[in-house]
């Protein structure tokens, strides 16, 4: 029996989770689905973004499917107030999910929806591998009336393991890794570069490795994105660059992600976009990134590659047939988009 925990979260999260569960049940008829509150909804109900019960349920699942968290209701600059994002960071850390995979592949049907010219994005098919549980997000933090600090901290082992994920992915793709750092300024980046090169020399000499400073990487992502195969980088840089890369597809509403560990526990699968509270409840949310995240769950979480390919193909064909949600310049809402994908299964 397959067991999946769902975390609808906030904003449009519950609206895009419903059709995602329908699709999950289509592909895995014997699945049991257990829903838990998470993020801002959990703060409202329990005073914390991630309860012990929710974490325990996630630990016991075969996979975890998350929709979206956050919203202005819970925005605060008080370090003592709970924030929805704390639930996400805490869940990744507790489950040992150190590798975030974000594929970026603009579809020909959406080339003209991208803010970049067609000739710049044609042929783009890249994968951002982001380290998830180290760096400045998890380092010691201080704040007084006159100053504040955030510690960026990485161990050699943390860099070693994310580098191996990237090199293994490159071997299954086109054999090229761009390691992004800020080694001209930051000591953590100098260590990052040294460790990545050591892993490469020891076990992955067949993969092409290139060092790219993060500011240069940001420019190259919009000037020649098709030149990238696999991008590997630390937590903060990966957070920023993957959102930038999402716009190559025409909308951040098209980008899925998978957060994986060492295989001993469940993975976490979620769209990259936020909770979009401005359109919550209107039926206008684009569910396609959620569907593509479900495809990653099928592939990486449940080892159902054929089913994942079928779902991805159904999304592609729906777009080829003219499906356009509002963020893609059309008028289709969540229900229409879901129906269009279902029609191609």
> pLDDT truncated to tens, each residue of the chain (345 aa)?
899 999 999 999 999 999 999 999 999 999 999 999 999 999 999 999 999 999 999 999 999 999 999 999 998 878 788 999 999 989 998 999 999 999 999 888 888 888 889 999 999 999 999 999 999 998 999 999 999 999 999 999 999 999 999 999 999 999 999 999 999 999 999 999 999 999 999 999 999 999 999 999 999 999 999 999 999 999 999 999 998 988 888 777 888 999 999 888 899 999 988 999 999 999 999 999 999 999 999 999 999 999 999 999 999 999 999 999 998 889 999 999 999 999 999
SS3 205: coil
* Residue of 182, 204, 229, 327 marked active site: 182
Q: Which of 62, 229, 239, 327 is catalytic?
A: 239
pLDDT of residue 329: 87
* Choice among 215, 278, 305, 321 that is catalytic: 215
Is 182 among the catalytic positions?
yes
| Domains of the chain listed by start with CATH number | 1-101+258-345 (3.40.718.10), 115-249 (3.40.718.10)
Prediction pTM value: 0.90
**Burial class (CB within 10 angstroms; exposed 0-12, middle 13-18, buried 19+) of 184:** exposed
Q: Is residue 239 among the annotated active site residues?
A: yes
Is residue 243 annotated as part of the catalytic site, yes or no?
yes
- Active site includes 215? yes
Strand duo 126-131 + 208-213: pairing: unpaired
**Rg, Å, the chain Cα set:** 20
DSSP structural state of residue 25: H
């Amino acid at each position: 029996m397959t067991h999946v925990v769902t975390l609808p979260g906030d904003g449009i999260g519950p609206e895009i989770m419903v059709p995602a569960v329908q699709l999950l049940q289509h592909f895995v008829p014997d699945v049991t689905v257990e829903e838990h509150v998470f993020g801002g909804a959990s703060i409202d109900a329990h005073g914390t973004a991630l309860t012990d019960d929710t974490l325990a349920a996630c630990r016991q699942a075969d996979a975890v499917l998350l929709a979206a968290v956050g919203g202005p209701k819970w925005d605060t600059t008080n370090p003592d107030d709970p924030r929805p994002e704390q639930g996400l960071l805490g869940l990744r850390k507790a489950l040992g999910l150190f590798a975030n995979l974000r594929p970026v592949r603009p579809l020909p049907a959406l080339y003209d929806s991208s803010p970049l010219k067609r000739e710049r994005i044609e042929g783009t098919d890249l994968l951002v591998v982001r380290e998830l549980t180290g760096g400045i997000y998890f380092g010691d933090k201080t704040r007084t009336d006159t100053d504040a600090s955030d510690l960026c901290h990485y161990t050699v082992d943390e860099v070693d393991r994310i580098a191996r994920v990237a090199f293994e992915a490159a071997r299954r793709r086109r054999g090229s890794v761009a390691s992004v750092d800020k080694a001209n300024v930051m000591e953590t980046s100098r260590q990052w570069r040294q460790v990545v090169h050591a892993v490469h020399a020891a076990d992955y000499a067949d993969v092409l490795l290139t060092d790219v400073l993060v500011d240069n990487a940001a420019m190259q992502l919009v000037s020649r994105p098709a030149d990238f195969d696999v991008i590997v980088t630390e937590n903060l840089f990966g957070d920023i660059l993957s959102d930038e890369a999402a716009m190559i597809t025409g909308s951040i509403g098209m980008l899925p992600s998978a957060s994986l560990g060492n295989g001993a526990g469940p993975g976490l699968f979620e769209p990259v976009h936020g909770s979009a509270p401005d359109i919550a409840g209107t039926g206008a949310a684009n569910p396609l990134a959620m569907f593509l995240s479900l495809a990653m769950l099928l592939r990486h979480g449940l080892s159902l590659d054929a089913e994942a390919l079928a779902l991805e193909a159904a999304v592609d064909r729906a777009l080829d047939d003219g499906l356009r949600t509002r963020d893609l310049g059309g008028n289709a809402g969540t229900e229409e988009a879901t129906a269009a994908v279902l029609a191609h299964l």
